[in-house]
Amino acid sequence: MRDHGGLTRNISQCLRDFNIPLKLSHTVTQIHGKERLKGVTVAKVDLDKKPINGTEEYIPCDTLMLSVGLIPENELSKMAGIKIDTRTKGPVVDENRQTSVPGIFACGNVLHVHDLVDNVSMEAAIAGRSAAAYAARGEACPVARRVEARGGVRYVVPQRIRADAQGEIPLMLRVGDVYKDATLVARCGETILAKRKKRIFTPGEMETLPLDAQRITGDIIVEMEAQKA
């Protein structure tokens, strides 16, 4: 079990103990130094993440660490002619983790970037069972319903759910911004299939929203009901 409150308190205490400034809603606009780094200029950003003129501040330093995000390893998927999701940069899959090419399954960081190995293991188990079942039956994939990310949800996996799906289907997704006191909702037409309310949603944490396959009658929309933090 993850104790986000305890982790936040520990980080805050560490920042105070070592007098480390924490500047939220800022970005690096300039890097200074030739032979080695001497400092950086940072500035506040607006709601569109663009620097605000007049807020620049020079900070002397000798090291700069950048977090630029990751994308799945998709070269083999592209070579196999598999359809790629423009948001995840990985294959489009159904709830069994079968790609657009029948008999080819994807999971883990080939499919989308994970933050917890537990989620990778869960996805691997789904893909493994499904591949074994496919090998035994050799069935073609029936018509699937679309799963679409909207309104604050950056992406969702799977992007398709087969018409013959059964049991509980976990949707794995990431939001596109920080949301406080928000509700994550999955709808099928006017029917709410699942919802989850949390004190805070962040892009860095993957969310899981379970659906009951028997209640799915058409395409699904997953979105946030909230204001940005």
Q: How confident is the model at residue 21 (pLDDT cuts 50, 70, 90)?
A: confident
The residues, any chain, with a CB within 8 Å of residue 64's CB and separated by 6 or more, are 28, 31, 37, 40
Q: How confident is the model at residue 210 (pLDDT cuts 50, 70, 90)?
A: very high
Q: What is the mean pLDDT of residues 133-156?
A: 85
The residues, any chain, with a CB within 8 Å of residue 168's CB and separated by 6 or more, are 210, 211, 212, 213
Q: How confident is the model at residue 137 (pLDDT cuts 50, 70, 90)?
A: confident
DSSP string, 147-209: EEE-TTEEEEE-SEEETT--SEEEEEEEESS-EEEEEEEEEETTEEEEEEEEEEE-TTS-EEE
Instruction: Give the integer Cα–Cα distance in Å for 145 and 138.
Output: 21
Quick: pLDDT tens for 27-64.
999 999 998 999 999 999 998 889 999 999 999 999 99
Alpha-carbon torsion angle 129, 145, 75, 131, nearest 10: 10
Strand partners, 31: 40
Q: How confident is the model at residue 2 (pLDDT cuts 50, 70, 90)?
A: very low
Whether the pLDDT of residue 10 is over 80: the answer is no
Q: Which residue has the higher pLDDT, 138 or 72?
A: 72
For the beta carbon of residue 203, count every other beta carbon within 10 angstroms.
Answer: 13
Instruction: Give the integer Cα–Cα distance in Å for 64 and 28.
Output: 10
Whether the pLDDT of residue 177 is over 60: the answer is yes
Record the tokens describing residue 88, joined without a space.
């995840």
Whether the pLDDT of residue 209 is over 80: the answer is yes
Q: Which residue has the higher pLDDT, 74 or 128?
A: 128
Q: How confident is the model at residue 141 (pLDDT cuts 50, 70, 90)?
A: low
Q: What is the mean pLDDT of residues 153-177?
A: 93
The answer to whether 208 touches 120, Cβ cutoff 8 Å, is no
- Out of 2-11, 56-65, 88-97, 157-166, least confident range: 2-11
Q: Which of 39, 42, 5 is nearest to 22 (CA)?
A: 42
The answer to whether 59 touches 81, Cβ cutoff 8 Å, is no
Quick: pLDDT tens for 58-94.
999 999 988 766 778 888 999 999 999 999 999 999 9
Q: Which amino acid is at 193?
A: L
Instruction: Give the integer Cα–Cα distance in Å for 179 and 199.
Output: 8
Q: What is the DSSP letter of 227?
A: -
Q: What does pTM read for this prediction?
A: 0.69
Residue 107 has a pLDDT of 93
